[in-house]
Amino acid sequence: MSNKREQSFIQPREKKWKIRYRPGYSETEQSVEKLMNDLGVSRIMAVLLFNRGMTDPARARSFLNCNDTVLHDPMLLNDVEKAIERLEKAVADNEKIAIYGDYDVDGVTSVTILDLYLKKLGAQVEYYIPTRDKEGYGVSTAGLDILHEHGVTLVVTVDTGITANEETRYAKSLGMEMIVTDHHECQKELPDAVAVINPHRPDSSYPFRDLAGVGVVFKFICAFELHRAKTTGLDPMDCIKQVCLDYGDLVAVGTIADVMPLIDENRLIVTLGLKLINSRPRPGMAALISASTGSGRRKVTTNTIGYGLAPRLNAAGRMDSATRAVRLLLETNPGEAAEMAKALCEINAQRQQEVNIIDEEARELMKTQCDLSKDRFVVLSKDDWKPGVIGIVVSRITDTLGLPAILISFEGTAHNPPEPTDQGKGSGRSVRGINLVKALQTCEDILVRYGGHELAAGLTVERDRIPELRRRLNAYVEQELQDGDIVMEMEAECELSPDDLTLELANEIERLEPCGTANPMPLFILRGARIDRIMEIKNKHVKLFLDCQGRKFTAMWFSKTAEEIDFVQGERADLLFQCGINDFQNLATLQLTIQDMHHPEIEQNEMEYEKKRYAEICAGDRIYPEEQIVPTRNDFKAVYCFLSNAFRSGIREYPVHKMLFLLNQHYINSLTFNYAKLVLILRIFQELKICGISEVAEDVYAFDIYYSPSKTNIEKSMILKQIRGQCKL
């Protein structure tokens, strides 16, 4: 029935929405009412607290005031006393200490706070961060050789090292000892280091496992200060308080950037850190805030860090060297810091351009390296991708397809011609329910190295192992799902009416901060909003002007273009969004931040009925005249003119629902189009070679206009004759 060109169009997988709170259940309503009355909050705020398990008003009040947890005893971390003893000796003997860090924001902030702390102790210290493109993820023997040449005798790893078994033995052979601090998943064998501090150790009794790498370093410093307090007679609580004041801002940035759960002591650490950043930011942080937010100071939130500061700090390690970011955070001169921050923003802009190029190339490669009709795990590779940015691209692919994915680059390692033993560096992302580290464990015999978290990991693999890697990862997902399917779900707190959306509500929601993983920024649903206007901003964001029951709203959809949102002006949409405040030029206004959009359920049901009816007609079912399915000459003319105008505007693909809406809107008083009629017209155009028509994804058609002076007689169409015959039955 269609001339389908496989995989020329990457169709985003629709996300299913779940709603946590639905009104009407008596026990739920009683709890919500009690929270409202006892706390003096709005009904919606009471629902948000209820959804977070805060059914007791006292507990909810404690949560809002962020005094529902305390910092755990750092001495509970395995090997921390061994690490203290070795580090104390190194400081006392004036040994040369090296901090070996990772190149992401977590690693950069970890390096920064340990460097500051050791220098405060009077230690002789330097730091080393590997480059992504040359050394890749983790501790390397090449890096250890450099440190050995510098006279280093003690290496302290931060946010890395838990899988560095061979490298730890190599360091020992050079006369260097290692202390490993990390938070990534442990493998079966721990490194043979002086101390291995990681709350994920199988034998760990530490109460909270989800510290960031910088959180582990922070706890190590706290432990060292408690030890010093015992030997100096200082007040232990005063020592811990000073550590929080000295480094809390950096710990918060690293924790947020590494997408750690903002619960337990992470919530306390991030709350303190945000207060420090907003009240007295260190010069490097202040410069980066100013450079990334533009004119004027804005209140820094988890979103500011996650979407503003962190990408710029990350850009240093992705495009150049992560030491740039460390130097910025260490800088004490405001003028120097401003120049460094400006340079980081420029590097970030280059990173964005590189990401877009690789994104296009990766989607093109899916045609030859994947079979999206069968694959459950996408594995793509290319020789010249920049290793520093493939992580961003693979995140986009995972978000679009709803599938785990790995991108592998051979930049800097590929031979000409390529050799089977060329080593590629990969970056992977996964979805809920598929543990990426466990998946890679099933392939460890064909990997050079790997490490990471449940949803994100890095790896190194030889070129000739990639087909086997792809096969095994797909087999792993198949086994995990047990013939099921990966479902992309987004969870909303509740549905809102237009009257619920106020600036007061947005201000109240801020009381839930800090928001992040495990304490997400609330998502809401608004039904049936009309899109009055769509405006693109800098060709990378979309601003929507909405009308819902007479109330006007503005909404931003970041990292989307007008073409990508799959809606046109005049259509109605159900929105999944965050409710926030836009304080541009010191004027606070309500702003919705869209996370997803669906067509209203009634429209989806109508479309499903029309598609079912089309299938029945294709099977030979009778067509009734009142259905208005058999196209007229005016219908053909209208569709041809529509496609021609779109083609001249540079548009080459259209979803059916968009074409239907625009055609019916334009010809509202003269012509009527439905799914069956439109698809039949497209098929007839292809049959008679009036236009080039091909279905590139389900209900998405690509077209090519043939500008020919000769006219084609529609009456020659066998498809048209067939459906006319079905109408006369």
* 591 torsion bin: left (phi>0), alpha (psi -120 to 50), beta (else): beta
φ and ψ at residue 529, rounded to 5 degrees: -80, 135
The confidence score (pLDDT) of residue 6 equals: 37
First-residue to last-residue Cα distance in the chain: 22
CA distance linking residue 441 with residue 100, whole number of Å: 25
In sequence order, the 6+-apart residues with CB closer than 8 A to the CB of 585 are 295, 296
Q: Which residue in this structure is represented by tokens 């947020």?
A: 256
Question: Which pLDDT tens digit goes with each residue over 240-257?
Answer: 999 999 999 999 999 999
Q: What is the DSSP letter of 308?
A: I
The pLDDT of residue 708 is above 70:
no
The confidence score (pLDDT) of residue 1 equals: 35
Question: Which pLDDT tens digit goes with each residue over 62-105?
Answer: 898 887 678 999 999 999 999 999 999 999 999 999 999 999 99
Q: Where are the domains of the chain?
A: 16-67+491-598, 74-280, 370-487, 603-728
Q: Which residue in this structure is represented by tokens 């549905």?
A: 495
Choice among 12-21, 173-182, 501-510, 679-688 with the minimum mean pLDDT: 12-21
Residues listed for the chain: 729
CA distances from 622 to 264, 419, 717 (A): 64, 62, 19
The pLDDT of residue 723 is above 70:
yes
CATH number of 16-67+491-598: 2.40.50.460
The confidence score (pLDDT) of residue 432 equals: 84
Identify the band that residue 7 occupies on the pLDDT scale cut at 50, 70 and 90.
Answer: very low
CB 682 within 8 A of CB 649: no
CA distance linking residue 570 with residue 593, whole number of Å: 20
**Which residues partner with 537 through β-bridges?**
541
Whether cis (ω within 30° of 0) applies to the bond prior to 417 is yes
Once rounded to an integer, what is the mean pLDDT over residues 697-726?
87
Q: Tell me the longest C-alpha to C-alpha distance in the chain.
A: 100
Collapsing DSSP states into helix, strand and coil, what is residue 17? strand
pTM score, two decimals?
A: 0.82
Identify the band that residue 14 occupies on the pLDDT scale cut at 50, 70 and 90.
Answer: confident
Structure tokens at 472: 């095994």
Question: Which pLDDT tens digit goes with each residue over 315-373?
Answer: 998 888 899 999 999 999 999 999 999 999 999 999 989 998 999 999 889 988 888 87
CA distance linking residue 708 with residue 716, whole number of Å: 18
CB 711 within 8 A of CB 23: no
Choice among 19-33, 190-204, 283-297, 396-410 with the minimum mean pLDDT: 283-297
Identify the band that residue 210 occupies on the pLDDT scale cut at 50, 70 and 90.
Answer: very high
The confidence score (pLDDT) of residue 66 equals: 81
The confidence score (pLDDT) of residue 319 equals: 84
The confidence score (pLDDT) of residue 372 equals: 80
**Which residues partner with 547 through β-bridges?**
530, 552
Identify the band that residue 233 occupies on the pLDDT scale cut at 50, 70 and 90.
Answer: confident
Identify the band that residue 540 occupies on the pLDDT scale cut at 50, 70 and 90.
Answer: confident
CA distance linking residue 156 with residue 83, whole number of Å: 9
Q: How far is CA 342 from the centre of its chain?
A: 25
The pLDDT of residue 276 is above 50:
yes
- Is the domain spanning 74-280 CATH 3.90.1640.30? The answer is yes
- Is the domain spanning 603-728 CATH 2.20.25? The answer is no
Please name which of 599, 614, 570, 575 lies closest in space to residue 657, comparing C-alpha atoms: 599
CA distance linking residue 408 with residue 420, whole number of Å: 14
The torsion defined by the Cα of 716, 719, 725 and 727, in degrees rounded to 10, comes to -120
Identify the band that residue 236 occupies on the pLDDT scale cut at 50, 70 and 90.
Answer: very high
Identify the band that residue 4 occupies on the pLDDT scale cut at 50, 70 and 90.
Answer: very low
The confidence score (pLDDT) of residue 10 equals: 63
Collapsing DSSP states into helix, strand and coil, what is residue 489? strand
φ and ψ at residue 714, rounded to 5 degrees: -60, -30
Question: Which pLDDT tens digit goes with each residue over 560-611?
Answer: 888 788 898 999 999 999 999 887 777 888 999 999 999 998 999 999 999 9
Under CATH, what is the fold of the domain 370-487? Answer: Diaminopimelate Epimerase; Chain A, domain 1 (3.10.310)
In sequence order, the 6+-apart residues with CB closer than 8 A to the CB of 93 are none
The pLDDT of residue 497 is above 70:
yes
- At residue 239's C-alpha, the angle toward residues 235 and 243, to 5°, is 170
The confidence score (pLDDT) of residue 147 equals: 97
Q: How far is CA 101 from the centre of its chain?
A: 23
**Which residues partner with 450 through β-bridges?**
459
Structure tokens at 723: 């459906």
CB 223 within 8 A of CB 277: no
Return the amino acid letter for 529.
A
Choice among 536-540, 701-705, 721-725 with the minimum mean pLDDT: 536-540
Identify the band that residue 2 occupies on the pLDDT scale cut at 50, 70 and 90.
Answer: very low
CB 555 within 8 A of CB 595: no
Q: Pick the residue with more confidence: 710 or 724?
A: 724
Collapsing DSSP states into helix, strand and coil, what is residue 427? strand
The confidence score (pLDDT) of residue 710 equals: 66
Mean model confidence pLDDT for the chain: 91
CA distances from 313 to 16, 190, 344, 716 (A): 33, 30, 7, 64
Question: Which pLDDT tens digit goes with each residue over 153-194?
Answer: 999 999 999 999 999 999 999 999 999 999 998 988 999 999
Once rounded to an integer, what is the mean pLDDT over residues 466-477?
95
Please name which of 109, 100, 129, 106 lies closest in space to residue 328, comparing C-alpha atoms: 109
Question: Which pLDDT tens digit goes with each residue over 421-449?
Answer: 999 999 999 998 899 999 999 999 999 98
Identify the band that residue 3 occupies on the pLDDT scale cut at 50, 70 and 90.
Answer: very low
Return the amino acid letter for 514.
P
Query: Is the sign of the CA dihedral 375, 381, 386, 388 positive or negative?
Result: positive
The rounded percent of the chain whose pLDDT value lies above 90 is 74
The rounded percent of the chain whose pLDDT value lies above 70 is 96
Structure tokens at 424: 């590629």
